[in-house]
Structure 1
Amino acid sequence: MVEPFDTVDLIHRKRDGGALDAAQIRWLVDAYTRGYVADEQMSAFTMAVFLNGMSPDEIRELTLAMVASGERLDFSGVGKPTTDKHSTGGVGDKITLPLAPLVASFGVAVPQLSGRGLGHTGGTLDKLESIPGWRARLSNEEFLTQLGSVGAVVCAAGADLAPADGKLYALRDITGTVESIPLIASSIMSKKIAEGTASLVLDVKFGSGAFMKDPARARELAETMVRLGNDAGVATRALLTDMNVPLGLAIGNANEVRESVEVLAGGGPSDVVELTVALAREMLELAGRPDADVEAALADGRAMDSWRAMIAAQGGDPDAPLPTPRESHTVRAETDGVLATQDALSFGVAAWRLGAGRARKEDPVVHAAGIDLHAKPGDEVRAGDPLFTLHADDPARFARALESLDGAYTVAPAGTRIPARPLVAARIR
């Protein structure tokens, strides 16, 4: 077979600030997926993209080429409207857990293909694997059957879904090209378009604990992904949300499941409830249920019934005790005052060092490890009050976790007014 393009020519063009056309991008992605283009060459290309960016047309073609590299799921036989949500990740972000069953309780199918955590951001599958018996791997037949009966599925994506993205993602991770908006947007949206959902709501986070620290960059990413989704026929919108402070009071795996169940029971931290409800409304509106009363479904048990059915369908026991840590260490306030700051990234790193996250994809996680917060910014505290509790199976982990929390929180004098920050900063359609 004679290849229609020369890889080095395409690298040169991108390196020098030029644009590739649709045929060139399609060929490059296909040739890399089948092994003709070497990792070294694709590394050079991704670095050129990182430095010079891509036009909207190039980003669209890159996304569609990655979709075309594998299978595309078809939900036409499910008999329900489909909608999905994707979060760019943060600290304490367990929103998928209450959100998927809540939306499904209104007769909408939620095909949530999720991933595992790496570094300071937790993975949805790791959290759910805290539940005894629950399994992340489903066959396509099991996936579709559960989607039609229960309505909500949270599981691992198969290797045949946008395989070009899988190869490219692993390469970007080791070549310093992760933080490129064209590459992030095409990576996320290729999988979501291939997934086959009719509509999609994106939770794009900014701030200390987010992938995108800068709100302007987060907005650019959100707008790029919304445009990609809508251009591909997936009704897409985004919420821009603040991740400077951990979400909720639980950071980890088992404790985040516990907090999610509290939300499904009509309780839970106000910020977790607020974001769950906001995303549910967006998803249900796109799925043709604009008048759905999501607060009522949390209060009257419908969402909880949906959760129990979803967990049981994947082999989990919703009534089984969750893992508990062998060791705990509580940090207390030294003075009276008001909790002023609580840096999300630092708390995420601390939870990771306790064993709740992984440094490499093959590392196991300790499901009982993590942090429980006892106060959030703006709360009054007295000397001796608990601020947060660290959990681990190995007490030797506490010292390094506490190192990462040095300066991560401050207590201001009593009476200090801490301005409230809106959790949802913008809505992008």
Structure 2
Amino acid sequence: MDARAIIAELRRGQQPSEAELGWFVEGLANGHVSDAQAGAFAMAVCLQGLEPAGRRALTLAMRDSGDVLHWDLPGPVMDKHSTGGVGDCVSLLLAPALAECGVYVPMISGRGLGHTGGTLDKMEAIPGVTTQISEQRLQAITAQVGCAIVGATGRIAPADKRLYAIRDVTGTVESLDLITASILSKKLAASPEALVMDVKLGSGGFMKTPEEARALARSLVETATAAGCKTTALITDMNQPIARALGNGLEVAEVMRALTAGKTCPLIDITAALGAELLVRAGLAADVAVGARQISDLLLSGRVAQRFGQMVAAQGGPVDFASDWQRYLPVAPVIREVTAPRSGFVAALNGEALGLAVVALGGGRMVEADQVDPAVGISDLVRLGHWVDAGAPVARIHAARESAALEAEASLLQALTLADRAPELPPLVYERVS
């Protein structure tokens, strides 16, 4: 076996064998494959693609590059994953909501990738919270609280951990095969009985067209099912942020408002739709309509906020976070209101441009070693279809410096389209793939 030969084979459009993919993944995990070779491999896969058999082989090899967890709990173990979007903090609601229903959710998540935010970065915006914990601690928190949101340890899918960081800085994020293998290697290593996949479609996701989203949904469902895990995917809208905020601390604030306001919003509606799929799989709901009502009622009751607070405390955060969260979240030194340059309906929001604006503010990573500022981002963002008058606020920029706020304002206004006619609003959920 030779890394150069495998890369050259891929570059020519030939499919590596299962043994070759297994050898390369082992090299990622043990260091025998260099960073340069890993980047070249990712680019070759991105350009040439893998067939379903190769995608499955890559996924299982990455899963088996480290430990695979086993559970002994008095209820079903299940999980969810999003393919990445902006203002997407659903995981922070869904994990504790499912725990309230008796489902155990050891959610192994990732960091920001490209223009999208990362669930781990959001959790770590809460002072004291750690997402890098041992497998033994993950087992204990899951048993005690019912849910945990953590990163993969060095012993869980180590090959993916290395390739994931390289993809972020080499322009190879948008590969269907690499996305599938990356997501499922970590998820399957946690040994869930069932998974629900949230495949984002629109300007703020990686999949920009229905065909791309459907292809990824099918890839995830088919690959996970072939590995023995019952899996469903929902294709959901990402033509605007789910929450009205982008940025790690600001999105946690949106989560807490949703969990304590007692009124529905798109964030709660999508969380309920995804949770319903798992409740049906677990036999805890007769159908998805019943399951969605069950999740929604719990979210609106305030009980999920308390469960979220228990998870935060178990992972090192403040014990009173659920009741006093405003005191703990970081505040940026510069907050700048952005106003509409003209009157009109909000006809489009370029989610990718908004996400990149947050990255430029320091809320994401330009290179792997960058430190994330949890206080920066965009809040109070207008939603599609809303009418705004000239000079009325359309968002607020939270920045570390005035110059950065001005640059973000210019980017935000370029991402915003105002029109004289109201746009046709997209559905929250486009279709279900199983």
Q: TM-score, normalised by structure 2?
A: 0.90
Q: For 1:422 and 1:111, locate their aligned partners in 2 and report how far apart those are by CA, in whole Å.
A: 30
Q: For 1:176 and 1:335, locate their aligned partners in 2 and report how far apart those are by CA, in whole Å.
A: 36
In 1, are the aligned partners of 2:169 and 2:368 still within 8 Å (CA)? no
* 1:185 to 1:312, Cα distance in 2 relative to 1, 3 A: same
Name 2:305's counterpart in structure 1: 304
What amino acid is the match of 1:354? L
Structure 2 unmatched ranges of 5 or more: none
Structure 1 unmatched ranges of 5 or more: none
Q: For 1:37 and 1:120, locate their aligned partners in 2 and report how far apart those are by CA, in whole Å.
A: 27
Name 1:61's counterpart in structure 2: 57
Aligned length: 422
What amino acid is the match of 2:52? P
From 43, 48, 57, the equivalent of 1:52 is 48
1:26-425 → structure 2 map (5 Å cutoff): 26-75=22-71, 77-267=72-262, 270-291=265-286, 292=291, 293-317=294-318, 318=321, 319-320=324-325, 321=327, 322-413=329-420, 416-425=421-430
In 2, are the aligned partners of 1:239 and 1:428 still within 8 Å (CA)? yes
Greater Cα offset, 188-197 or 400-409: 400-409
Instruction: State the Cα distance separating 1:246 from its structure 2 match.
Output: 1.7
Greater Cα offset, 399-408 or 7-16: 7-16
Q: Which has the larger radius of gyration?
A: 1
Greater Cα offset, 17-26 or 154-163: 17-26
In 2, are the aligned partners of 1:349 and 1:401 still within 8 Å (CA)? no
Q: For 2:409 and 2:174, locate their aligned partners in 1 and report how far apart those are by CA, in whole Å.
A: 28
Q: For 2:372 and 2:133, locate their aligned partners in 1 and report how far apart those are by CA, in whole Å.
A: 21
Q: For 2:248 and 2:169, locate their aligned partners in 1 and report how far apart those are by CA, in whole Å.
A: 26
* 1:278 to 1:41, Cα distance in 2 relative to 1, 3 A: same
Q: CA RMSD in A?
A: 2.2
Greater Cα offset, 192-201 or 379-388: 379-388
Instruction: State the Cα distance separating 1:119 from its structure 2 match.
Output: 4.1
Greater Cα offset, 193-202 or 289-298: 289-298
Q: For 1:335 and 1:45, locate their aligned partners in 2 and report how far apart those are by CA, in whole Å.
A: 48
Q: For 1:348 and 1:177, locate their aligned partners in 2 and report how far apart those are by CA, in whole Å.
A: 17
Instruction: State the Cα distance separating 1:407 from its structure 2 match.
Output: 2.5
Identity of aligned residues (%): 42
In 1, are the aligned partners of 2:264 and 2:300 still within 8 Å (CA)? no
What amino acid is the match of 1:402? E
Where 1:251 maps in the other structure, the secondary structure is coil
* 1:133 to 1:121, Cα distance in 2 relative to 1, 3 A: same
Instruction: State the Cα distance separating 1:12 from its structure 2 match.
Output: 4.6
Q: TM-score, normalised by structure 1?
A: 0.91
* 1:267 to 1:383, Cα distance in 2 relative to 1, 3 A: farther
Q: Which has more helix, going by share of residues?
A: 2
* 1:267 to 1:355, Cα distance in 2 relative to 1, 3 A: farther
